[in-house]
Amino acid sequence: MAVIGTLAAGINHEICNPLGIVRGQCEMFLLNMRDGFYENKSREDLVKLCGDIMNKVIRETDRATAITKKLSGFAKPSKNNDMEEVLIEREVQEVLGLLGQDLKLNNIDIQTDIPANFPVFLADRKQIEEVLFNIIRNGAQAIDKKQGKILVSGFAQNGSAIIRIADNGSGIPKESLEKIFHPFYTTKAPGKGTGLGLFIVKQIVERNRGTIAVESEVGIGTTFTLKFPTAVKAITAAA
Partner 1 sequence: MPKLVTIDDETEFTNLIEGYFTPRGFEVFSANEGTGGLELIRRERPEICLIDLKMPGIHGDEVLRQALEFDPSIKCIMITASEGGGKTRDKLLQMGAYKCFDKPISSLKDLEKAIQEAVLL
Distances (CA, A) of 227 to 60, 78, 129: 38, 19, 15
Query: Is 45 or 109 the residue whose CB approaches partner 1 more closely?
Result: 45
25 binds partner 1, rule: CB under 8 A: yes
178 binds partner 1, rule: CB under 8 A: no
Query: Is 49 or 234 the residue whose CB approaches partner 1 more closely?
Result: 49
Can you list the pairs that 170-178 forms with residues at least 24 positions away whose Cβ atoms lie under 8 Å?
170/142, 170/143, 170/144, 170/218, 170/219, 171/142, 171/216, 171/217, 171/218, 171/219, 171/220, 171/221, 171/222, 172/142, 172/214, 172/216, 172/218, 172/222, 173/218, 177/214, 177/216
173 binds partner 1, rule: CB under 8 A: no
209 binds partner 1, rule: CB under 8 A: no
- Interface residue with partner 1, options 1, 3, 4, 19 (CB under 8 A): 19
Report the SS3 class of residue 64: helix
- Interface residue with partner 1, options 16, 46, 98, 238 (CB under 8 A): 16
69 binds partner 1, rule: CB under 8 A: no
User: In the bound complex, what is the minimum distance in angstroms from residue 7's beta carbon to partner 1?
Assistant: 11
28-36, 80-88, 100-108, 200-208 -> range binding partner 1 (CB under 8 A): 28-36
**Residues listed for the chain:** 239
Report the SS3 class of residue 145: coil
Q: What does the binding site for partner 1 look like in residue numbers (CB under 8 A)?
A: 5, 8-9, 12-13, 16-17, 19-21, 23-25, 27-28, 31-32, 35, 37, 56, 60, 190
